[in-house]
C-alpha cells in the first residue's frame, strides 16, 4: 500500500484534507437550490462509501509496504472493526446535524462554529489518545483557533441581530454537531497502528481498511439516522424515499461528488496520521472552517452588505485561524 514517509508530505496531505473538508459543503449548497439536504445526504454517503472502495483497491493495494486492502480486511480483529465502525456512526450523526445547520444558518456560520468546536475538543481527545508533537505549541495553536471561532460567532451575531428562530436553531445545532464530531476521529485512529504503517501490528487496520469500515458505519447508520430526520425534519415538511428516486441524475451526482471530496480529505488525513500524529493530522484538517468561510463570503455572499465592524471581525477570524494552523504545523516539525 502507499504510505507517507516524511512529515512535509504529511503536512501537504493535511492541507489537502483541509481544502476538501472545507469545500464539500458547496455541493450541498448547489443541490440545495432544488433538493432537500436530507435527500442530498444519501448521495453524499454513497459517494464516501464508493470512494473508500476505489481507494482501497488502488493506493491501498499497491506497493510493498504494509498489507494489501483485501488481505488486511480479513485479519482485523472484531474490536478494531467495532472501533472504526463506531467512528462512522458518530461522524454520521454529527455530520447530519452539521448539514442541517448549514441549511438553516449558512455555510459561513455553521462550519466555523461546528467544525471549529470539533477541532478544539478533537485535538484534546486525539492528543491524549496518541501524544505526538510539542504540546505547548500545539495547544497554543488551538487557543488561537478558539479565538477565531469567537470572532466568527460575534460577526454572525451582528449579522443576525434581527435574526429569526431558524437561524438561532441552526447555531445551536452546529454546536451540538461540533461536540459529537470531536470524537469520531479517535475511534478510527484507535483501530490503526499509527506507529508502524509499513508493518502494522496483526489484527490492527491500515488507513485504507479503517477508512472503508468507517464508511460502512456511516452508510449503515444512515438508514436509521437519516430516515428519522426525513420523517421529523428540523425545518420544513417531511420528505420521502419516493422523492429521492425521482431526483435528476445530475442532482444525485452533485451529492456523490460531495461525498467523494470529503472522502478524499478524510483518507489523506488518516494516511498522514502515521507521520504527523492523530492530533496534528486531525487539527490541520479541521482548519476547514476557514476554507468554508472563504467560500461563504466570496462565492455565496453570505455576509453581503455587512457593516465595517463585521468585516473587521471576519478579517481577525482569518488571521487567527491562519496563525493557529501555523502553530499546529510547527508543533510537529521537531
The alpha carbon of residue 243 and the mean position of all alpha carbons in its chain are separated, in whole angstroms, by 27
Per DSSP, the three-state class of 163 is coil
Which DSSP state fits 56? H
Q: Which residues are CB-contacts of 209 (< 8 A; sequence separation ≥ 6)? A: 56, 60, 69, 72, 73, 76
Predicted confidence at residue 160, as pLDDT, reads 63
Q: How distant, in Å, are the alpha carbons of 66, 141, 247, 252, 283 from that of 185?
A: 21, 19, 32, 27, 11
pLDDT value at residue 14:
93
Query: DSSP assignment, residue 296?
Result: I
| Alpha-carbon distances of 252 from 43, 86, 203, 276, rounded to whole Å | 6, 27, 37, 35
Q: 162 — phi, psi (to 5°)? A: -100, 30
Distance CA 210, CA 63 (A): 18
Q: For residues 326, 17, 179 and 43, what is the CA-based torsion angle, rounded to 10 degrees?
A: 160
Helix (H, G, I), strand (E, B) or coil at 258: helix
3-state secondary structure of 81: helix
Q: What phi-psi label fits residue 133: left (phi over 0), alpha (psi between -120 and 50 degrees) or beta?
A: left
* CA separation for the pair 320, 178 (Å, rounded): 19
- Please give the C-alpha separations between residue 124 and each of 120, 247, 282, in angstroms, as whole numbers: 7, 42, 11
- pLDDT at position 334: 62
Global confidence as pTM: 0.88
Report yes or no: 271 and 4 within 8 Å, Cβ to Cβ: yes
Task: Kindly list the averaged pLDDT for each block of 10 residues, start to end, along the chain of length 334.
Answer: 91 93 87 88 97 96 86 96 98 89 73 79 88 91 86 75 63 91 93 88 95 98 96 90 95 96 95 90 81 80 84 90 89 80
- The DSSP bridge partners found for residue 205 are 192
Q: What is the pLDDT of residue 230?
A: 95
Virtual CA dihedral for 166, 167, 173, 178, nearest 10 degrees?
170
Q: What one-character-per-residue DSSP string does 120-153 give? A: HHHHHHHHHHS--S-HHHHHHHHHHHHHHHHHHH
Residue 172 grid cell: 445551536
Report the C-alpha gap between 298 and 295 in whole angstroms.
6
Contacts 24+ apart (CB under 8 A), 156-162: 156/105, 156/108, 156/109, 156/113, 158/306, 158/307, 158/309, 158/310, 158/313, 159/303, 159/306, 159/310
Distance from C-alpha of 206 to C-alpha of 215, rounded to nearest angstrom: 14
Strand partners, 192: 205
Residues 6 or more apart whose Cβ sits within 8 Å of residue 243: 36, 39
Amino acid at each position: 500500500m502507499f504510505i507517507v514517509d516524511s512529515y512535509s508530505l504529511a503536512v501537504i496531505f493535511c492541507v489537502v484534507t483541509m481544502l476538501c473538508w472545507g469545500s464539500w459543503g458547496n455541493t450541498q449548497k448547489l443541490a440545495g437550490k432544488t433538493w432537500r439536504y436530507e435527500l442530498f445526504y444519501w448521495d453524499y454517503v454513497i459517494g464516501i462509501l464508493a470512494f473508500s472502495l476505489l481507494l482501497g483497491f488502488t493506493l491501498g493495494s499497491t506497493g510493498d509496504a504494509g498489507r494489501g486492502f483485501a488481505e488486511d480486511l480479513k485479519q482485523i480483529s472484531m474490536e478494531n472493526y467495532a472501533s472504526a465502525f463506531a467512528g462512522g456512526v458518530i461522524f454520521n450523526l454529527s455530520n447530519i446535524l452539521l448539514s442541517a445547520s448549514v441549511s438553516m444558518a449558512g455555510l459561513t456560520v455553521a462550519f466555523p462554529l461546528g467544525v471549529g468546536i470539533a477541532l478544539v475538543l478533537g485535538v484534546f481527545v486525539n492528543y491524549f489518545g496518541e501524544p505526538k508533537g510539542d504540546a505547548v505549541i500545539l495547544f497554543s495553536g488551538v487557543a488561537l483557533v478558539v479565538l477565531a471561532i469567537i470572532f466568527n460567532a460575534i460577526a454572525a451575531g451582528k449579522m443576525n441581530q434581527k435574526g429569526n428562530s431558524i437561524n438561532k436553531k441552526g447555531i445551536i445545532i452546529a454546536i451540538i454537531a461540533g461536540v459529537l464530531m470531536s470524537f469520531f476521529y479517535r475511534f478510527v485512529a484507535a483501530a490503526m497502528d499509527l506507529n508502524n504503517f509499513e508493518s502494522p501490528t496483526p489484527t490492527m487496520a491500515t488507513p485504507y481498511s479503517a477508512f472503508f469500515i468507517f464508511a460502512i458505519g456511516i452508510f449503515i447508520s444512515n438508514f436509521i439516522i437519516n430516515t428519522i430526520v426525513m420523517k421529523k425534519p428540523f425545518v420544513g415538511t417531511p420528505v420521502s424515499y419516493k422523492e429521492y428516486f425521482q431526483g435528476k441524475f445530475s442532482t444525485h451526482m452533485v451529492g456523490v461528488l460531495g461525498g467523494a471530496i470529503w472522502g478524499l480529505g478524510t483518507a489523506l488525513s488518516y494516511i498522514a496520521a502515521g507521520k504527523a500524529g492523530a492530533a496534528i493530522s486531525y487539527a490541520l484538517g479541521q482548519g476547514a472552517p476557514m476554507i468554508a468561510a472563504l467560500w461563504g463570503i466570496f462565492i455565496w455572499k453570505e455576509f453581503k452588505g455587512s457593516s465595517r465592524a463585521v468585516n473587521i471581525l471576519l478579517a481577525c477570524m482569518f488571521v487567527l485561524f491562519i496563525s493557529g494552523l501555523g502553530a499546529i504545523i510547527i508543533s510537529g516539525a521537531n
